[in-house]
Structure 1
Amino acid sequence: MTGFVIINIAIMVILLLVLWFMQRKHVSFTKRVFTALGLGILFGFLLQVFYEPESEAILNSVEWFNIIGSGYVKFLQMIVMPLVFISIVSAFTRLKLASNIGKISALILGILIGTTAIAAALGITTAFVFDLEAAQIVEGDAETARAQELEETYGTIEGKTMPQQILELIPANPFLDFTGARPSSTISVVIFAAFLGIAYLGVKRKQPEHAEFFAKIIDTLYSIVMRVVTLILRLTPYGILAIMTRTVATSDLDAIVDLGKFVIASYAAIIVMFLIHLLLLSLGGLNPLTYVRKAFPVLSFAFTSRTSAGALPLNVKTQKQLGVPDGIANFAGSFGLTIGQNGCAGLYPAMLAVMIAPTAGIDPLSPSFIATLIIVVAISSFGVAGVGGGATFAALIVLSSMNLPIALAGLLISVEPLIDMGRTALNVSGSMTSGILTSRVVNELDTETYNDKSLKIEAEA
C-alpha cells in the first residue's frame, strides 16, 4: 500500500466521520444523502485531478472504498428477496377488501404496464427528436468489454421465443429463485408469494383461526424484515459517498462529455415521463404538487442509491402518507419492483432499440417497427430486477426479441451510472402513481391524509 493510497483512505475516513457527526446531530436523512452525494462527486473529481483514472493509486484506493460502497449494495441485494416475498404475502393478510383483490391487482398491473408502454413511446420519440444513433458513439475498450459481457449474458436467453421467456417467469422451484439464481427470479418469487396469499384468503373463509395464526406470523416476519431494511437504510449516506467517489474517480470524463447528448436526451425523457405521472394524478382529481412534496424523500433516495428494491420500505411508507391503504401500497410497491418499471424497462430499451435499428438495416421510422417495439417493451417489462442490472436485462430481452444486435447495448457504459440514477427515481414514481390511482379508482384513497401537509416522511424508523 503506497503513501498516496493511505492518504486517500484517510480522506475517505474523514468524510465518513463528517456524515456520522451529521447523523449524531440529527440532520435529516435526505440532507445527509445529498451531502454524501456532493462529497462523493467532489472527492472523486479531486482524485481525477491528482491521478490518472486508471492509475494504481486510484484503483487500489477504490478497492478499499468498495468495502463500503459494494458492501452496501450487497446488503441491499441480501434483503431483496425476503423483502419482496414478505411484502406481497403481507399485502394479502392486510388487505381488507378481499373481494376486490382481483380488481386491485388488475388495476395496479394495468397502470404499471400502461405507463411503461407510454414510456416506450416517449423513448422512441426522444430518440427521433435528438437524432440518436448508435453509429454516433465511438467504441472504446470499456464498450468492447461490456459488449462481450452482454454476449455472455445473452446466452441465457438466446434462441428463446417470447412465449418461452414468459414461461420462464413461472417458478418451478421457488426455493431456487429465493437465491436469485435466474434473471427472472424476482418475478418468480412474486408469483409464488401471490399464490400463498390467495391460499391464505381461501383458508380465511374456511378455517379463520388458522388464517389468523398465519397472519400473525407474517406480521411478525414483516416487522423483522422491515427492521433489517431500516438498519441497512441507515448505511445509505456512507454507501452513497463511497459509490459516487468510485464512480467519478474511475469515469472517463472525456467520454461523458462526448456522450453528453445521450445524457441530456435521457433526462429530457425522464422529466417528461415524470410530468405524465403528475398529469395522471391531476386527472384523478389530486394535487400533483402535494405528491411531489411528499414523494421527494423517497425519489431522492432512489436517485442516489440507484435501487428500486432498497427504496421499497420508503415507497410503501410514502404511499400510506399519501392516503393509500396498507395492502394496496404493498401490492403497488412490490409489483413495481419487477413489472412495468417506466425508466429501466420502458424508456431505456425503447431508446436503445431505435438507436441500434439502423445498424441492422431496419428503418426505425416504420410504423410496424414502432408498434411492435412498444408491445415488446410492455410485455418484456415483466421480471426486471429492482437492484442494479435490471435495465440491461430488459434491454437484452427487447433487442433479442426485435432481432437487433445486443452487443451494442454496451455503448453507453460510460454514462450508465449517471443515467441510471434518473431511471430508478422514475421507476419508483411509477410504482407509487399506480398505488395512488388504484386507491382512487376503488374509492379507498384517504384524500384528507393525501392533502395533510403536516405529515413528514423520513427514511428512519
Structure 2
Amino acid sequence: MSAAPAAPAPSPLGKVRKTPFWVQIVAGLVLGLLLGYLARALDVSWLTSTLDTIGKTFVQLLKLAVPPLVFTAIVVSVANLRNVTNAARLAVRTLLWFLITSLIAVSIGLGLGLLTDPGQGANLSTAGLKAPDHAGSWVDFLTGIIPTNIATSFVEVNVLQIVFLGVVTGAAILKIGEKAEPVRKLSESVLDLTQTALWWVIRLAPIGTLGLIGKSVAKYGWDLLEPFATLTADVYVGCALVLFVVYAALLRFAGGLNPLNFYRGAWPAIQLGFVSRSSVGTLPVTRRVTERLGVPSEYASFAVPFGATTKMDGCAAIYPSLASIFVAQVYGIHLGIGDYLLIAFVSVIGSAATAGLTGAIVMLTLTLSTLGLPLEGVGLLLAIDPILDMVRTATNVAGQSVIPILVAAREKSLDLAAYDNPTGDLIDDAPAAEAAVVAA
C-alpha cells in the first residue's frame, strides 16, 4: 500500500495566519520599537517617514468605518430594544453603572494627582504655546449634539451628532413599527458589511502597531518621557487600578463572578484597543467578546455601541483629572476643593464628548475651559498623548464590556456557562464568511 502523499508545507503567509493574534501584536510592537530606535539613532528620515505613513494609514482605515459603523450600530441597537425584556430598566441600569464607574475612575485620577504632583519639577517652557483652534465648552457640547446638516455630521465625522441621529432614527423605527422594518433590515445589512470590512482592517493591527509605535520612538525618542515621567506613570497606574482592581472587584462583589474569566475572554478587545487607540474601531471585537462571555446578544447590541461612544473611564475620567492637575501646576495655578469637585462633575457628565475616537483632546479642552485653566496647556500634552492614549483606550474598552456583563449578571440573564468557559481567539476565530475572505 502506497503511503499517503505528504501535506504541502505551509507557506510563510500561512504560518503567519496560524500564529495567535496576540503574538502578532507583540511582534509588531517589538519590531516597531527597534525600527523606531534605529531611525532616530541613525537619523534615517525615510524610515521615520515610512513608519509614520504606515501608522497613519492604519488609523485612517479605522476612522473610515466610523460614520457608518456608529450610525447603523446605534440605529439597530435602539430598534432592537423591542426584543429585550425590561429594556427601559436595562438602559437605566447600564447608564447608572457607567456613571458609578466613571466617578470611581476620576476619584482615582484625582487621588494620584494629589499624591504625586505630576506637574511639579517638570521644567517645561510654556512660551509660544497656542490654544487649540476649537476649544470645548459646555455650550458647544450641548448645542453641538444636534446637527445643522446631516451630511456635514458624517463628512466631518462628528461622532456625537452621528450618535444623536442614530438614536432618533432607532426611536422612530420603534415608534412606526412594521412599516419601518425595511429601514431596520437595511441598517442591519450595512452594519454587517461595515463590520466585515473592519475585521479586515483589524487583521492589519500588527502592521499598524509597528508603524504607530515606531513613529513615536523615531520622532520623540525616550527623552520626551523625562518631563512627563510622573504624569505618564500616574496615567498608567491609574488605568491599571481601574482595569485590574476596580473592574475585578465589581465583577466579584457586585456580580458574583470570577474576574479571571472576564480577562481571559475580553483580552482580545483590550489588546486591540491598546494598539488601535480607538474604542469605535474596536467595537466589533468588544461586542463579540461581550457576547462570548454570556451577555444576551439583544442587550449587547445596545449596551456595547452605547458604551463605545459614551463610556470612557480612561480618556474622560482618569486622564482629564490628572492632566488638569498637571497643567495647573506647570502654570503655577492653585486648585481648591471646588475645582476638584468640578473636575469630577465634568468627567462623569461629559464622557460623551470624547466620542470614542483616537485621543481625548476635546474632553481635555472641555475640562480646562470649565476650570478656567490655560488652554495652551493642551499643547504641552500633544507630544506625549499617543503614549498615554494606548492605556486609556484599553481601559475604555474593558469598561465597555464589563458593565454589560455586570448588569446582565445582576439581572440573572448572563449565560454563566459561557462566562465560565471563554474559548477561542476572538480575532483569529472570525466568522466563517469573514475568515474565508481573509484566507483567500
TM-score interval for Structure 1 and Structure 2 normalised by the shorter chain:
0.7 to 0.9
Rounded to whole Å, the distance in 1 between the matches of 2:390 and 2:422 is 28
In the TM superposition, 1:362-377 aligns within 5 A as 362-364=333-335, 366-377=336-347
Alignment partner, residue 73 of structure 1: 59
From 309, 314, 320, the equivalent of 1:349 is: 320
Identity of aligned residues (%): 26
What number of residue pairs does the alignment pair up? 418
Query: Which sits farther off after the overlay, 190-199 or 351-360?
Result: 351-360
- Deviation of 1:90 after TM superposition, in Å, equals 1.7
* Counterpart contact for 1:44–1:246, Cα < 8 Å: yes
Segment of structure 1 superposing worse, 272-281 or 405-414: 405-414
Alignment of 1:60-209 (within 5 A): 60-95=46-81, 97-98=83-84, 100-133=86-119, 135-139=120-124, 147-148=129-130, 150-154=131-135, 157=136, 160=137, 162-163=138-139, 165-180=141-156, 185-204=158-177, 208=178
**Which one-letter code corresponds to 1:76 in the other structure?**
L
Is contact 1:91-1:326 (8 Å) kept?
Answer: no
Whether 1:213 and 2:213 are equivalent positions in the alignment is: no
Do 1:340 and 1:378's aligned partners in 2 also have CA atoms closer than 8 Å?
no
Displacement of 1:109 in angstroms is 2.2
Q: Output one character per residue of 1:169-191: Cα deviation in whole Å (capped at 9) or x when no partner.
A: 1233333211225xxx2122112
Which whole-Å deviations, capped at 9, do the CAs of 1:11-46 have from their partners, x for residues lacking one?
A: xxxxxxxx9737645112221111111110111112
Q: 1:430 to 1:331 in 2, by over 3 A?
A: same
Contact 1:306–1:420 under 8 Å retained in 2: yes
257, 260, 267: which is aligned to 2:229? 260
Displacement of 1:73 after TM fit? 0.9
- Return 5+ residue gaps in structure 1 as ranges: 1-18, 52-56
Q: 2:42 maps to what in 1? A: 50
Q: Secondary structure at the match of 1:21?
A: helix
Give the SS at the match of 2:147.
coil
- Residues 131 and 231 of structure 1: CA distance in aligned 2, closer, same or farther (over 3 Å): same
CA distance in 1, matches of 2:33, 2:410: 43
CA gap 1:139/1:26 in 2 versus in 1, 3 angstroms: same
Give, in angstroms, the shift of residue 65 of structure 1.
Answer: 3.2
Instruction: Identify if the C-alpha distance between structure 1 residues 34 and 451 changes in structure 2 by more than 3 Å, giving closer, same or farther.
Output: same
Against the structure 1 CA distance between its residues 247 and 255, is the aligned structure 2 distance closer, same or farther, given a 3 Å change threshold?
Answer: closer
Give the CA deviation at 1:230.
1.1
- Counterparts in 2 of 1:81 and 1:357: CA distance versus 1, 3 Å: same
Helix, strand or coil: the match of 1:382?
A: helix
1:324 aligns with 2:295: yes
Do the aligned residues in 2 keep the contact of 1:123 with 1:346 (CA within 8 Å)? Answer: yes
Q: Is the 8 A contact 1:115 1:340 kept in 2?
A: no
Residue aligned with 1:250, SS: helix
Could you tell me how far apart the structure 2 residues matched to 1:131 and 1:24 are? Answer: 46
Tell me what 1:3 maps to.
none
Mapped to 1, the partners of 2:329 and 2:288 lie a distance apart of 45
State the Cα distance separating 1:297 from its structure 2 match.
1.2
Q: Is 2:6 aligned against 1:21?
A: no
Quick one: distance in 2 between partners of 1:95 and 1:256? 47
| Partner residue of 2:376 out of 396, 407, 424 | 407
Query: Mind listing any 5+ residue stretches in structure 2 that lack a counterpart?
Result: 1-10, 432-440
Q: Deviations over 1:355-405 (max 9, x none)?
A: 2335666543x332222221122122122132223x111000011011111
CA contact (8 A) 1:337 1:384 kept: no
Q: TM-score, normalised by structure 2?
A: 0.88
Superposition CA RMSD, Å: 2.4
CA, structure 1 residues 440+172, in 2 after alignment: closer, same or farther (shift >3 Å)?
Answer: farther
Residues 186-228 of structure 1 deviation map (CA, whole Å, 9 limit, x = unaligned) = 1221121111111112222xxx3x3443333222222211111
What is the match of residue 378 of structure 1?
A: 348
- 2:40–2:221 contact (8 Å) kept in structure 1: no
